[in-house]
Structure 1
Amino acid sequence: MLPAGHPLFAGLLRSLPAGLIALAITRTPPHGRWWARAAVLGVLNIGLFFPFLFIAAERLPGGVAATLGAAQPLVVAALAVGVLKESPSAWRFAWGVIGLIGVGLVVLGPAAGFDGIGVLAGLGGAATMALGVTLTKKWGRPAEASPTTFAAWQLTAGGLFLVPVTFLFEGAPPAIDLPAALGYLWLGGVGGLLAYVLWFRAITTLPVTSVSMLGLLSPMVAAVLGVVVLGQTLNPVQLLGFALALIAIVASQRPAPALAKAALR
C-alpha cells in the first residue's frame, strides 16, 4: 500500500505524528536526565529501527526479513549479560536458537533471496532494537511517565531524528494516494502508538529476554493471517517450525527447571 523506495519516509510517518499526538494528550515532557535518555532510546528503538525495518522489507522477501529479525532475542541475551550484569542463561539462549530455527522453517522458502543491503538492514534492525530494549530495561521508566507518555517520548524523539535524515537521503516526500494514506494511518496508529504503549509496558514489567522472545509472535501471526485471509497453506515442515517457535516462546517465559539450574551451577 505504501510508495516504493521511501523507507525513511515510512519510518518518519510511523513515528512522529503518533508521538506528537500522544504528547499533546499526556502533556508530560521529559525532565532532567530523561531528556537525554529519551533521545537515546528514541533513536535506537524508533529512529534507527524503523528505517532498517522498512529497508529490509523492501529489499528482501518477507520470510528472510522475518528470520533476520528473529535473531534479536539472541542479541538481547548477550547484552543482558554485558549491560544488565545478569548471569548467562543457557536456558533462554537455547530457546532463542530454537525459536529462530522455528521461524526460519515457517517463513523461508526455496525462492528466498539474499540482497546484501537488505541483509545488513535486517541485522542492523535486530541489533539496534536489542540494544534499545536492553537500555530501556536498565533505565526503567520514571514514575511520572505512563506507558503512553514513555512511548510518546520515544516516538517523538525517533521521528525528529528522522526528519533531516529523510529529506537528506530521499528528498521530497512521495505522492500519497488513498491506499498509502490508509497504510500510513495503520502504521502510525496501531503499529506505532498502540503497539509501543503495550511494548514499553512489557519491557518494564517482564524480564528483558522474555520480552524479546515475544517478538517472534510477529512472523507467526503473519503466517496465520496468510492462511486465514489469503487462503495459503502450511506444509509439514512449516507446521513443525510453527510448533517449535511457539514452544520456544512459551518455554522462554518460564524460569529454568531446578535440574537445569543445578547443572549450570
Structure 2
Amino acid sequence: MKATLGWALITAVAPVAWGTNYYVTHEFLPSGNPLYGAAIRALPAGLLLLLLSRKRPRGSWWWKSLVLGTLNMSAFFALVYLSAQLLPTSVASTIMATSPVVMMLLAWALLAERPRVPHVAGAAIGIAGVCLMLLTGTASVAVLGVLASVAAMLMSSLGYVLAKRWSHEVDVLSSTSWQLIAGGAVLVPFAAAVEGPPPALDAPAILGFTYVTVIATAVAFAAWFLGLRHLPAGTVGLLGLLNPVTGVLIGTTIAAEALTVQQLCGIALALLGLLLGQPTAARLATTVRTRADRILERI
C-alpha cells in the first residue's frame, strides 16, 4: 500500500506542473508561435533527460519514439500552447481533465485493463466537477481554443496508453527523452515553414520557457511515465484531475480570476473522483465491506 501511494504521489507531480503551465504560457510566453513554443519546450527537455539516461534508441524504438513523440509531445505541445493562448487558464486546464475516461477505454482495448467500478465512479464524479468548473459563464470561450484542447486530450490519451504498453522494453528516462527529442525535431521544420524566423525572447519569456522546459516537461513527463509503468492507466488518468484543480487555483490566486461557489463545488467533486480511483481507496472500501458483512453475519 505504501509503495502504491508513493507512486501515486510521484505521478501527481505531473498534472500539478501541467496545471501551472497554462498560466505561465498565457502570461509569459510569446503568442502567435505555437509551433516554436512547443519545439522550444520539447527539445531542451529531451536533451536534459538524455544527459541523465545516456542511452540512444535501438531497434523498434526508433519508430516508437517518433510515434509517441508526435502524439505526446509535438502535436500535443503545439495544441496546448495554442489553447493556452486562446482560453482562460481555468478553462484550458479543465478540458484536459476529461482524459481519464478516454484513457480507461483505450487501456481496455489495447492493454486488456478492464475499467474498475471505483475508476468509473471516480471518472464520472470527476467529470461532473470539471463541468462545474468549466461551465461558469465567467469568461468567454474561444471555439478554436476548445477544439485545440480536445484534440490535445485525445492524442495524448492514446499516446499515454501506447507508452504504457511498450514501457517494459526500456527505462523511463530513456523513453521520455527520446519522445521529447523526436517530438521537438518533428516540430522544427513545420515551425520554420509556417511561422518563419524564431520569435525574439525577452527575459520573462526565457524564464518562462526555463520553467516550462525543466519542471512542466522534463520532470513532469518523467513522473507521469513512471506512474504509468507502476499503476493502472485508470488510476493515472484520474490523477490528471489535479490539472484543472491546479489551473483554477492558480487562476484565482495569481491571475485574479473569479472563484465562484460553483467552481469550489467542482474542485471538491474532482478531488473526490480522484480519491475514489486510487488503489488505497479501493482497498479501504473492500475492507469496510468485508467487516460490515462479518458484523451482519454475526447479527
Cα distance in 2 for partners of 1:117, 1:235 equals: 25
Q: Distance in 1 between matches of 2:257 and 2:77?
A: 28
- Counterpart residue number, 2:264: 239
Q: TM-score, normalised by structure 1?
A: 0.89
Q: Is the 8 A contact 1:151 1:197 kept in 2?
A: yes
Q: Does 1:249 align with 2:254?
A: no
Please say if residues 6 and 170 of structure 1, whose CA atoms lie closer than 8 Å, have aligned partners that are also in contact.
yes
Distance 1:238 1:180 in 2: 30
2:230 partner letter = T
Structure 1 Cα separation of the partners of residues 257 and 147 of structure 2: 29
Structure 1 gaps, min length 5: 260-265
Secondary structure at the aligned position of 2:105 is classed as: helix
Distance change >3 Å, CA 124–CA 94, structure 1 → 2: same
Match of 2:169, SS state, is coil
| 1:56 and 1:119 in contact (8 A); partners too | yes
Are residue 20 (structure 1) and residue 70 (structure 2) matched? no
- In structure 1, the residue matched to 2:244 is 219
Correspondence 1:83-162 to 2 at 5 A: 83-143=110-170, 145=171, 147-162=172-187
- 1:87 and 1:183 map into 2 onto residues whose CA distance is 40
Calculate percent identity across the aligned residue pairs.
37
How high is the TM-score relative to the length of structure 2?
0.79
The one-letter amino acid of 1:186's match is Y
Aligned residue type for 1:46: M
**Ranges in structure 2 where 5+ consecutive residues have no aligned partner:** 1-27, 290-299
| Runs of 4+ with deviation above 4 angstroms | 226-233, 256-259
Q: 235-244 or 131-140, which moves further after superposition? A: 235-244
Deviations 1:115-145 (A, max 9, x none): 23222211110001100111111111435x2
Q: Is the 8 A contact 2:138 2:258 kept in 1?
A: no
| C-alpha distance in structure 2 between counterparts of 1:141 and 1:15, whole Å | 23
Cα distance in 1, alignment partners of residues 197 and 127 from structure 2: 38
Q: Does structure 1 retain, via aligned residues, the 8 Å contact 2:164–2:228? A: yes
Q: 3-state DSSP class of the match of 1:111?
A: coil
The answer to whether the Cα contact below 8 Å between 2:97 and 2:243 also exists between their aligned partners in 1 is: no
Q: Contact 1:46 / 1:155 at 8 angstroms: preserved in 2?
A: yes
Return the alpha-carbon distance in structure 2 between the equivalents of residues 168 and 232 of structure 1: 36
Matches of 2:187 and 2:111 in 1, distance apart?
29
Aligned length in residues: 257
Counterpart of 1:263 in structure 2 is none
Could you tell me whether the CA contact under 8 Å between 2:136 and 2:262 is conserved in 1?
A: no
What is the CA–CA distance in structure 2 between the aligned matches of 1:223 and 1:22, rounded to whole Å?
30
Aligned amino acid, residue 205 of structure 1: H
Mapped partners of 2:244, 2:205: distance in 1:
23
Deviations 1:180-200 (A, max 9, x none): 111111111111111111111
Task: Kindly indicate whether the alpha-carbon contact (under 8 Å) linking 1:63 and 1:108 is maintained by their aligned counterparts in 2.
Answer: no
Partner of 1:83, secondary structure, is: helix
Which amino acid is 2:232 matched to?
P
| Native 8 Å contact 2:95 2:130 kept in 1 | no
More helix by share: 2
Q: CA RMSD in A?
A: 2.1
**Paired amino acid for 1:238:** Q
> In structure 2, how many angstroms separate the alpha carbons of the residues matched to 1:42 and 1:27?
18
Q: Distance in 1 between matches of 2:177 and 2:50?
A: 6
Which of 193-202 and 59-68 deviates more?
A: 59-68
Aligned residue for 1:70, secondary structure, equals: helix
